Amino acid sequence: INDTICFGVPYKWDVTGKQYTGSCTVDTILSSIHGCDSVVRLNLVEMPEILPVVTKDTICAGEPFSWRGTLYNTTGTYNDTVVTAEGCDSIYTLMLQVWPAVAPSVVYDTICHGEKYFFNDTVYTESTTTTATLTNVNGCDSVVTLMLYVWPENRDSVIVTEYLCHGTSSFLWEVNNEV
């Protein structure tokens, strides 16, 4: 009798009622009701070990992940067992990490008239509100809104080019008819 077993699975031979593991050859002597002996041989072959196939992957929240015909969107370990042509189990494992969603953020900032503001590879010189989709350290989208205010040019400023003489401690000037 020739037979195969899967790796690590015991084989119970009905002729002897005993269990065998691994590849082996077993001879047993059977006696008939007429007193004749016959030898029955079992040739048992153990199939090689099938190592599990492990897939590790990460996705961003809200993205589906397709694995072995099924969509996943939750962190976890998932198994799929397939029976081979020899009847042995082949185990596939998915270890999936789902990065949490990143809440949109708002950056409020100000600059003075004539200054420049750099945001997302763009230079701004006027008040604006703009949104950019950036990639965070996990490779997921991060939405950032910039609300930039540019202070207007101060037209009431005065440029003083007067000098004080040695020994003079103060200087008065008139602005809008006031001293």
Give the per-residue pLDDT at 24: 92
Phi-psi region of 24 (alpha: psi -120 to 50; beta: other; left: phi over 0): beta
Give the mean model confidence (pLDDT) for residues 14-29: 91
Q: What is the pLDDT of residue 176?
A: 56
Q: For the segment 38-95, what is each residue's pLDDT rounded down to a tens digit?
A: 889 999 999 998 888 999 999 999 999 999 999 999 999 999 999 988 889 899 999 9
> Does pLDDT of 172 surpass 80?
no
pTM across the whole model: 0.59
- pLDDT surpasses 80 at 166: no
What per-residue confidence (pLDDT) applies to 45? 93
pLDDT, tens digit, for every residue of 70-85? 999 999 999 999 998 8
Nearest residue to 132 via CA among 154, 117, 147 = 147
> 86 near 72, Cβ under 8 Å?
no
What pLDDT sits at residue 98?
96
